[in-house]
Structure 1
């Protein structure tokens, strides 16, 4: 295939490779009328926000607050008018807008997300919002492809911004503000708390759904548990196996390239950390039935899950977003109500405990984002160009803003199975 020459985005920070980033390199064609309507809607929304939005040419909108600079208003409005939130993120990747404090600006937008689109347009969301591609449904084959697109990017990339535990989920800190030198301990504290919830000890038969890079399996095996861990990521499995061998725990840890629906056997405990977000609402009943079916009577499930408000979950359930397109294809964040109703209606599990700690995720993400920024040149040396680095910066900042605004939260759940009869 012929490689096209990179195009330079006007006012942007870098050349965008159209072969790698076709939808970023090219501003979508939009009619004058559509762009004008979009500009009017965007201006109306921004005027009421506690933001200071400065458009190229000198116009300023907003009620004051974090600065958001729109360098190319025509492209900015054309992208939003044709792609909504996808276009908003692509406009950032293209360098058409920026913010000195990206998290602060995105936190304002996240806090007002339900009000940004006028109510009449909200009611017509199904007509204008992009839909999920059918190939990204989380069927067994779809899940393998979706997981690979994120987690198989490069173990070296993730190692640039994760701590030595290689934990890619919310840590639990003792106090704020968090610091990098406390992150590994905070991640181990999170893991130990989940293992304690599941009552994992010497001799426990533990099923882990979602291996990551193996830290939870290692800590469970160090307690004397026998761990079966499932993953769909070949890259993660390879490195997790290396870590297991280096720790001399091969006799206690088995890491299988296996979909959760293919799990077999009976276990005293099941632990799953931020895996449900990759399952998809369509398959939540199947996921929780597997937890139930694999768990022995008297066993315990410890689950860590990112959550969002139920009303927003219902409103956005069918919407295809920038995060889906560029970061987590097939992903969908549940609400606490959705989790608890699915467990109640489809399993014999019973909710015993739920603890929220969203502020800890905001700090975890801040540390990852700052670390990634510090090591941007190393990411470039691995082959991740500046457009990708803007993508990854936006992803981490966007996620942090979700937790800082309260739009997102994270929970640790304990479910029990005391009675084998329904």
Structure 2
């Protein structure tokens, strides 16, 4: 199904009610129009604007309110592009293919001759989004404390909110692929009978449950009170409360010694400023001979350097304070700040594209149930855009996801 373009309810979404105005907006809108059309004319897409089709032909989008579209794009760049979708200023019947073309060419959408001016127009991460200990819990709550019932609607029965691993079978069952992903991470970290496990980032408890079922004792830490409550319920239902404790605790405050430290798609929320602290904390908590298993979403290193410190649509609406590392960044940070080294890695980015497709399809199919939870049409468009935007990143190869094993090595 598709979502009908709808203007936001007045007052419900501050900043989306009014289109930016004034002389500066008029100038930036004119520039945005020229740059947008210049980019589109060389891309395999079709953009419908003022009754004309632009582009080389391919996935389609329609600009429904051109003035607003270019005003938002001119004033706020890619944030404005996403906001114009939220307000219904543009639409696409099949959003992901169009966004995938853009993602594949993202480094060159703006002419390279103009990219040196990026610092003059790029939004910077607000201080309120720094992932300090006194701010991180609120940042995490923005997303993960939305509603457990919302996440139940589109996730599989394992409530795994990270990439599944289909292992070459993209038609396979999603829950089985999620469990396969978890079991692989437990295997490489050698989690078994008697293993002391620390999990950084609980999710809704599936990894902790499966580790405990192997005979491990698990301490899992989270900053989401909603996730903590449901994870504890699921752990109790599995009869494993004697093996698993779930604490509301910042990773920087964890103590003890562990044979395995596991963290699935949590490093993305740490913030680049605190990557050294994150990995040094893991290093300090590992017992001699211990292993750390990390699942991380990755971006190209050159793009990471170019966008570090920037403020994006994803930051503003989905994950405040988040930033993706590169594979090279993980190697460099661990070498410079820890005794840990990467000894094994597996990339499976296309599996994430398929995972996101499943989530988005289910989310749209259950849109009426989302509405009954109290979420409005703008939220529906926001969440759909988020899932498609993310899927496009993996489908294009711009983003990847890896399971990385870290160990202390001689020398």
TM-score by length of 2: 0.97
> Does 2:274 align with 1:283?
yes
Structure 1 range deviating more: 355-364 or 409-418: 409-418
Asked if the contact 2:154/2:363 (under 8 Å) is kept, the reply is yes
Deviations 1:114-135 (A, max 9, x none): 1111223311111101111101
Pick the aligned partner of 1:46 from 40, 43, 64: 40
Structure 1 residue 35: deviation in Å?
1.7
Q: How does 1:19-418 map to 2 (within 5 A)?
A: 19-31=11-23, 32-55=26-49, 57-178=50-171, 182-418=173-409
Listed one character per residue, the Cα deviations across residues 358-384 of structure 1 (whole Å, up to 9, x for unaligned) are: 010000000000000000000000011
Aligned mates of 1:54, 1:117 — CA distance in 2: 20
**2:383 partner SS:** helix
Aligned-partner Cα distance in 2 for 1:249–1:190: 21
CA distance in 2, matches of 1:13, 1:37: 26
CA RMSD between the two structures: 1.3
Structure 1 runs of 4+ aligned residues shifted over 3 Å read 174-177
Give the superposition deviation at 1:16. 1.2
In structure 2, the partner of 1:3 is none
Report the CA distance between 1:286 and its aligned residue.
0.2
Query: C-alpha deviations, 1:265-322, integer Å up to 9, x for none?
Result: 0000110000000001100000000110000111111110000000000111122110
1:14 aligns with 2:6: yes
CA distance in 1 between counterparts of 2:409 and 2:131 reads 31
- Shift of the alpha carbon at 1:15? 4.0
Give 3-state SS (helix, strand or coil) of 1:365's partner: helix
Cα distance between partner residues in 1 of 2:22 and 2:197: 54
Equivalent residues of 1:295, 1:417 under 8 A apart: no
| Segment of structure 1 superposing worse, 313-322 or 393-402 | 313-322
* Aligned partner of residue 86 in structure 1, secondary structure: helix
Any stretches of 5+ residues in structure 2 without a counterpart? none
* Structure 1 residue 64: Cα displacement: 0.8
SS at match of 2:16: helix
- Matches of 2:134 and 2:63, distance apart in 1: 40
Distance 1:257 1:50 in 2: 48
Q: How many residues align?
A: 407
